[in-house]
Amino acid sequence: MFRCLKCGQEYKNSTTHCANCGSLLYDQRNDTIGYEKPKLSLDKKFVLKMILLLATILFVLGIFSLISSCIDNSAPDSKSIDKMTNKEFNQFMEWKKEQNQKDYNESSLNSSK
C-alpha cells in the first residue's frame, strides 16, 4: 500500500487518483506522477479529421471520375483544322457525320411524338 503525497490517504497500486482529495497519485513503479493512459491530443484529433476529410474528398472524386469515364467522350481533339493531317481530318468528318445523324434521329423522334 502507498500513500497520497498530498493528503496521506492510502491507496493500491492500480488507482490513479486519490479517493480522498482527487489528486493524481505518484507511481512508484516508474517514478512518475499519475499513470493514466494519455489522451489523444487536439493535434492528433485534427490530423485524424483531416485524413477523414481527405479520404472523403478522394472517394467523391473517384465516383465522379468513374461516372465521367462512362460518358461517351468520343469527340476528337480540338486541333485546328489547319494543323490536322488528312487522316485526322477524315476521322473528324466521319465523327461529325455521325453526330449530325444522331441529332437528326433524335429531333425526328421528338417531333413525331
H helix intervals, the chain: 42-70, 86-112
Residue pLDDT, tens place only, 3-62: 777 777 777 666 777 778 877 766 555 555 544 455 556 678 888 899 999 999 999 999
Coil vs helix vs strand at 3: strand
64 grid coordinates: 465522379
Q: What are phi and psi of 70, to 5 degrees?
A: -80, -20
Kindly report the CA angle at 38 between 37 and 43, in degrees rounded to 5?
Answer: 155
pTM of the shown model:
0.31
Q: Are 18 and 11 in contact (CB under 8 A)?
A: yes
pLDDT band at 113 (very low <50, low <70, confident <90, very high): low
